[in-house]
Chains A and B, each alone.
Chain A
Amino acid sequence: MADGKVKVRPGVLIPWEVREKEYEKIMGDKEILKQEWEKIEVIANRFIWAILTDF
């Protein structure tokens, strides 16, 4: 499990819930951070699974 905390779900590598807790504080819009985090997550996750299923 990622950092021993949250199980790595399908489509996710390091879940937003894990990353969110690592910020000391968020002074702006949390949703912006979440969206950008998850946008790259989906591609990076695809890399892992594509090596298994495609390449």
Chain B
Amino acid sequence: MPESLREHELFKINIFKGGSIMGQDMEKLYEERLKRYVTALKNEKPDRVPIRIFAAEFTAKYAGYTSQEVTHQYNKAFEAVRKCAKDFDWDATVINMVYVWGGLVDHFGQRYYKIPGIELPPDIGFQYFEPKDEENAFMKENEYDALIESPTEYLANIWMPRISRNLVPIGAPNTFRNNMAWLKGGISMMEYFSACGEAVGLLKSECGTVSAIAGILKAPFDILADKLRGFRQLSVDIHRQPEKVGKACEALMPYMLQNAMVTSDPAKQVPVTVWLHRGTMFSENVYEKYFWPTFKEIILQLWKNGIQTLWYGEGTWGKWLKYTAELPEKSIIYHVDKEDIFEAHKQLGDKFAISGGIPNDLLAFGTPQEVKEYCKKVIQTVGKDGGYILDASAIVQSDAKIENIKAMTEAALEYGVY
């Protein structure tokens, strides 16, 4: 079986397409940026602080597209990212942070998204809606045993028919719509992933910019707390059936690890990203008992295979720094959202590279001078000895001012050279 999906022949065709048409100057620029980025990821000192922006609807605003256009027409999303990467001199970025393609959602029929241009105005970013009660939960309280017994079969047979408006549950009369949703869902995903491979090549050949991440990971507890049981329902489960919550995390662990492994960078240069959602919303006891053990094991296994994890801690993860510090040196890159980046650096900076920490409200409401000053402070303290990657705290939405994103680049070029 292929070690990685990116080595799969169906994907390989497109992934390296862009590389063959690169000019020498662009190739040199790309190699410089790759070296800069990878050096910082390893918590070492590159020639300059790398600029690696995770930007979603901001790219649409800058390129003159609506949110609907970049959500439904992924080539416009890729193009908008390339325009930003070129104009703002980004060393690395993600080919498309508007990660939900509306076409796939339309064909497969996920119920949990509201899509711009359909349920939302064309200029609003897509939204995730979670069931608020047991009656509407996508995984029911008495289904833990089925999930634990065989996670993949549980997803395919029970969970997916619930989250899709097109699928019928096992045992119900089959429908044409059901069959077509499976067919078109699969085809849609193949088409999108194939286009992503091509977009990585174009980002390299047209902009000399590195595709910043490869691979996806969710912590088992997190995935239980959002798309499976949901936050409210899991909050009840940890009191009513705590053992099953623990066993479900253990059962999900090897599957989440495998999913991360097959989507990771075969060259092992850029990290798998874990998008951390709900762990900080529970008590330390819950974190220590249910969240941390299986999540830690996945990170250790990835690291054993030479793969770094980008710890994208949405919200404030600072209260768990003592747990994070248990991880092996360089095994993660700690991305700062709302917590104190200076404190995070003080506690973790010797072991791990740090990224982010430039507040999104500053990018939305501040002046370019304020943004530059804040970036300067972060670069000169957190980035003093290397191991810092300049980025916003959270994914950049359309509220960020264009002049403030430009100011981030200026700060890196003015204050970030070692």
- Chain A residues at the B interface, C-beta cutoff of 8 Å: 1-2, 7-8, 10-13, 38-39, 41-55
Contact = CB atoms under 8 A, between A and B. Distances in A.
B8 A53 contact: no
Interface residues of B, number: 41
B259 A53 contact: yes
A47 B228 CA distance: 17
A19 to B, nearest CB: 14
Given A38-B1, A45-B152, 5 more contacts: A43-B8, A46-B5, A49-B155, A51-B163, A55-B105
From A7, A11, A38, A49, residue with most partner B Cβ within 10 Å: A49
B160 interface: yes
A16 to B, nearest CB: 9
Contact of B8 (A42, A45, A49, A54): A42
B323 interface: no
Interface in B247-272: 254-259, 262-263
A37 B351 CA distance: 43
A1 B255 contact: no
Q: Is the interface of A mostly helix, strand, loop or mixed?
A: helix
Given A1-B153, A10-B255, A42 B223 contact: no
Given A11-B1, A52-B223, A43 B153 contact: no
B223 A53 contact: yes
Given A1-B150, A43-B10, A48 B160 contact: yes
Contacts of A1: 149-150, 153
B282 interface: no
Contacts of A12: 152
Given A43-B8, A55-B104, A48 B155 contact: yes
Contacts of B10: 43
A20 to B, nearest CB: 15
A7 B153 CA distance: 9
Contact of B101 (A42, A48, A55): A55
